[in-house]
Structure formats: C-alpha cells, structure tokens
Structure 1
Amino acid sequence: MLLDPGFNLTLRPMKYPDFYEMYKNSIKNTWTVEEVDFSTDVSDLRNKMT
C-alpha cells in the first residue's frame, strides 16, 4: 500500500493539538490493564464464584 506523499506518520509537530489533548483526556476516562490487579482473579473464581 502506498501512502499519499503528503501523509505524515509523525506525532510532532502536531497539526491539531486540541484533538490530541482530547484523546489524552479520553484515555483518563477508561481503565487500562496496568491499573487493575488481576492477581487474585483465579483464586476468586475458584473460591468465591462457586
């Protein structure tokens, strides 16, 4: 696949910094895998869910 010669794959300089800021704020509204401790899930499934 060929890209348009004017297509820029770099993050900086940003053409629309407001959109990037909205993206960063939207990430804060959802949980990520790094934030949740799954270490007790198997134990909970075996002992508490049955």
Structure 2
Amino acid sequence: MRIWIDGDACPVVIKELLFRAAVRVKVLVTVVANEKLRVPVSEFIQTL
C-alpha cells in the first residue's frame, strides 16, 4: 500500500500525522509538490 499526498494543498498538521503513522505502521508515503518540502528522513517517506 502507498499513500500519495498533495504536498502543496495538504495542511502541515495532517502531513506530520501521516509521516508519523507511515513510520509506525510501515506504509510508504509519497509527497507530490511543486516546491521542495521538508520531510523527515525515513525509508517510508519520499518526495516527488
């Protein structure tokens, strides 16, 4: 399973919650954005 996030439109609070949940349950999260975003370093979180 993979979760795709619109990094430009998603509120910061929701992104942080999804990042923590992704690491906890070991689900891949991909953040898609027009601009470079800061995301935690994790094997389960990537940007596009």
Category of TM-score, reference length = shorter chain: 0.3 to 0.5
Q: Normalising by the residue count of structure 2, what TM-score does the alignment of the two structures yield?
A: 0.33
**Greater relative contact order (CA < 8 Å, ≥ 6 in sequence):** 2
Task: Give the structure with the higher percent strand.
Answer: 2
Q: TM-score, normalised by structure 1?
A: 0.32
Q: Which has the higher helix share?
A: 1
